[in-house]
Amino acid sequence: MTKRILVVEYLPVTTLKLNPQNPRSHSEKQLREIANSIKIFGFNVPVLIDSQLRVIAGHGRVLACKALGISEVPTIRLEHLSEHQIRAFTIADNRLTENAQWDDRLLGEELNNLSEAELDFSLEVTGFEMSEIDIFIENLGPIAEEREDPADVIPDSESKPQVTKPGDCWVLNRHRVFCGDARDVSAYSVLTKGQRAQMVFTDPPYNDPIDGYVAGFGRIHHPEFPVASGEMSSWEFTGFLNQFMAQVARNSVDGALQFICMDWRHSAELISAAQSVYSELKNNVSG
C-alpha cells in the first residue's frame, strides 16, 4: 500500500459541493445534535472532498456548520481515488460504522463517570438521550434477587371466605366498584347512578384456554372466568362481545374513548362486534 501524506486544508464552507446522490440522509434532529457537538468540542473531524471540492464524507458536519454560521472548515482532499472508488467509499464510510456494537456495560460505566463529573455541558451531546443514559447507568447495578412482594400475593379464594359477591357495590369516596356482569343493564344503573363515562378501559375474557398465561410471567393465579374462557365458538364470542360493548357504549358520552384489551387472535371478533354496535347506535340516532 502506497503511503500518502494527508494535508488538512481550511476552505470556505460555501465552496464545498454537497453530493445530491449521497445515500445517507440527515434528519433535522441529527443535524441539531451534530451542531451541538461542534459547539461543545469544536470541529475535530475534517471533511473529505475530491479534487473538485465535492464532499465525499462529512455532509452532516457541513450542513451543521452552515446552520452555526461557521465560515471555514478543515478538509482533506482524496485526489487519489477514482470516481467509482469515491462512490464505494461514500457508502462504506457510513455503513461500516453501523457494523460495530456497543458494550453496554462499558458504555454505562463511561456515562456514569461523566454523570458524576462537574461538566459544563449536557451528557446528551454524546448523542444519547437522558432516558437512554439513565437506563445504561441503572443497568450497572447488581441484579437484585427476585423476591415476591407480599402485596402481590393473591389470597386463596377457595379456602378463605369471599369478601365480594355479585351484586355488591363498594363506595370509595367519589369512586364506585360494582361486582357484576358487564352485559347486565341493571349493573350499570347501580354503578353509574345515571352518569355516563367519558373514558372506558376494559379487559374482557379472551375466550382462550391459554389466556391465563402472560408472556414472561407464566400462569396468572386466578380461576377461570365463568364465561368466555374458551368454550365459545367464534360466532358466540362475537355475540358475547357485542352484548357488553353495547352496554358500555350506551353508558358513555358521545365521543368517549373506549380502550378494550384483547388477545390478537380474537381481534377479528372484537372489530366485528364493535362495528355491529356502532351500526346499531347510528341507526337508533337516525331513527
Whether 220 shows a pLDDT value over 50: the answer reads no
User: Per the domain annotation, does 219 fall within a domain?
Assistant: yes
Least confident of 56-60, 135-139, 148-152: 148-152
Would you call 212 helix, strand, or coil by DSSP?
coil
pLDDT per residue over 158-175, tens digit each? 666 777 888 999 998 888
User: Per the domain annotation, does 155 fall within a domain?
Assistant: no
Average pLDDT over every residue of 81-90: 91
Please state, in angstroms and rounded to a whole number, the distance separating the CA atoms of residues 108 and 105: 5
Helix (H) or strand (E) holding 276: helix 267-286
Decide which of 194, 210, 234 is a domain's last residue.
194
The reply to whether 22 and 92 lie within a common domain is: yes
The three cell numbers of residue 190 are: 347501580
The reply to whether 185 and 271 lie within a common domain is: no
The reply to whether 12 and 79 lie within a common domain is: yes
As beta bridge partners, residue 175 has 172
The reply to whether 211 and 261 lie within a common domain is: yes
Q: Is 0.85 topped by the overall pTM?
A: no
Q: Note the pLDDT of residue 138.
A: 86
Please state, in angstroms and rounded to a whole number, the distance separating the CA atoms of residues 274 and 72: 62
User: Per the domain annotation, does 144 fall within a domain?
Assistant: no
Q: Note the pLDDT of residue 157.
A: 61
Phi-psi sector, 103: left (phi>0), alpha (psi -120 to 50), beta: beta
Q: Note the pLDDT of residue 215.
A: 41
Whether 239 shows a pLDDT value over 60: the answer reads yes
Number of domains in the chain: 4
User: Per the domain annotation, does 64 fall within a domain?
Assistant: yes
Whether 50 shows a pLDDT value over 80: the answer reads yes
pLDDT per residue over 257-281, tens digit each? 999 999 888 899 999 999 999 888 8
Q: Note the pLDDT of residue 221.
A: 43
pLDDT per residue over 54-74, tens digit each? 999 999 999 999 999 999 999
The reply to whether 184 and 130 lie within a common domain is: no
The more confidently predicted of residues 242 and 24 is 242
Whether 45 shows a pLDDT value over 70: the answer reads yes
The reply to whether 46 and 133 lie within a common domain is: no
The reply to whether 166 and 208 lie within a common domain is: no
User: Per the domain annotation, does 145 fall within a domain?
Assistant: no
The three cell numbers of residue 57 are: 464524507
Mean pLDDT, the chain, rounded, equals: 85
User: Per the domain annotation, does 42 fall within a domain?
Assistant: yes
The reply to whether 224 and 252 lie within a common domain is: yes
User: Per the domain annotation, does 257 fall within a domain?
Assistant: yes
Q: What percent of the chain has pLDDT over 90?
A: 47
Decide which of 194, 218, 239 is a domain's last residue.
194
Whether 147 shows a pLDDT value over 80: the answer reads no
- Band the pLDDT of 229: cuts 50, 70, 90: confident
Structural domain including 131 reads 104-138
Q: At 74, which CATH number?
A: 3.90.1530.10
Name the DSSP class of 229.
S
- Band the pLDDT of 181: cuts 50, 70, 90: very high
